[in-house]
Structure 1
Amino acid sequence: MNVRGRVIVTGIGKSGIVARKMTATLTSTGTPALFLHPADAGHGDLGMVTPDDVVLMLSHSGESTELGPIIQYCKRFAIPLIGLTARTQSTVAEAADICILMPEVREACPNMLAPTTSTTLQMAFGDALAMSLMEMRGFSADDFHKFHPMGRLGAQLVKVRELMAAGADVPKVPEDASLLDATIEMTRARLGGTAVVDRGGKLIGAFTDGDLRRAVTGKQNLTDAIGRFMTATPLAVAPDELASEALRLMHERNITLLFVCDKDRLVGALHMHDLLHAGVA
């Protein structure tokens, strides 16, 4: 938590694969980390390790010879070394400034040789470490989204303000508009509806394609006030609401358009197509 630099995670073989995963989880949850391959360390990659860093070394046996150059480097330049091993009398355990002792466990392999149970424990420790640091840092869903802008995870954390239409793209008419005015505005914006606002910009109604179809089935005058046909106090969401929550509301209410309000004042419009296009589900 107090390291000024990065967590340098290293290991060889199956422990190295776990170390890579541990590095990725730490990095994506607010703890800067790098994976250092032991085979490359002695060929120049030790240059990525600085006195501000801490090295986290994974080795079940604690005797992997490939780790030797990294241990020597840490000792020479007083870089904190944390060893994650199951052997108290091993090279890694004795060299480490802090030794995290893992339990001696029977491997699931029928020959009790292939790393299986031991690597599962390493993985669990890495996840626990990352989650503990997340809690200590107060790492939020917003922070998570900054590091995961792509893919399904990123889509589920997108806020309404990132996808909504804003400014002149938001269809709206004043409360004294006519049915014709609302129809023209709805056609211009092509979102399937228009907001109705009072003089202060407060959302007071919504007029949609469905309202228009119901209006034209009767003998209505196009100059009639839109207030006769609009849906009063329509459903709206806040700009900082999750887009996934907005989509849930649309499915729940069987609608395709939501207006976005900041303290009752209209600031945007969100169509279901925009949500689906962005991968929100």
Structure 2
Amino acid sequence: MPEPTLTPAVTTDAELLTQTEIAVRAAGSALRDRFGDITTYRSREELMRALAANDDTVTDLLRPRLEALRPDARWVEEELDSGALPEGEWWVVDPAEGNVNHLHALPEWAVTATLVRDNQPVLTVVHLPLTGQTYTARAGAGAHLDGHPLRVSATADLGLAIVATSQARPDEDPDVVRRVGISITEMFLDALVVRVAVPATLHLVNVAAGRIDGFWQFAGARADLLPGALLVSEAGGRITTADGRPWTPASDSFLAGAPGIHAAATTTLSR
């Protein structure tokens, strides 16, 4: 494969978002080329090798391009990490968000890249290579799907709402797993429909686009939640913990929702 053409460093966030989108779309094409047959594995080791092969395919293309755009920004090496980052700029990238879906020939996967500055996401790109759709957001400049503005739903009754949740990671702490199960039961009682699937980001782009009304998760990695948090907030939604406190990447829960159902959702999730 030829070496990628690197774009010189850029200075404005608007220009940086444009160039990040170009880079993410190009890397996503390589992951799309790997999609098709179901990947079989007989052990956790075989599974991890298959996941890493997808990640490496994208990272090898995307990392040099993003580092050329922002030479002083550091790179988060582990996509499953959570918690606050040191001050400064960081690229938080998920090379294959929904990687296990990709291996199983399921269509719900994406490539994401988010620039975090002093622990605040300032721009993000979420690209769906199978459909060609690209979601973008820049702090203070709104959220968009292929250039068209996004807005969260106007639903004002949780009983009429579609909500979703996701499994943060395999081998989650048993207490977190039990908490997730209880929350799903409570939402079944209060919401119209509950969707449960991975990955988190694809639920969150649907919240930003107004297709569903809310999403919650317990635990979770920065790469799972930061892209969607910026998209939803820039589309007019609310981002908090499950019980309504301010959310940070160090929080142990996450709730993104349309303003009309957000308070009711916190009540349900706090029972």
TM-score band, normalised by shorter chain: under 0.3
The structure with higher relative contact order (CA 8 Å, sep 6+) is 2
Using structure 2 for the length normalisation, give the TM-score.
0.26
Q: Which has the larger radius of gyration?
A: 1
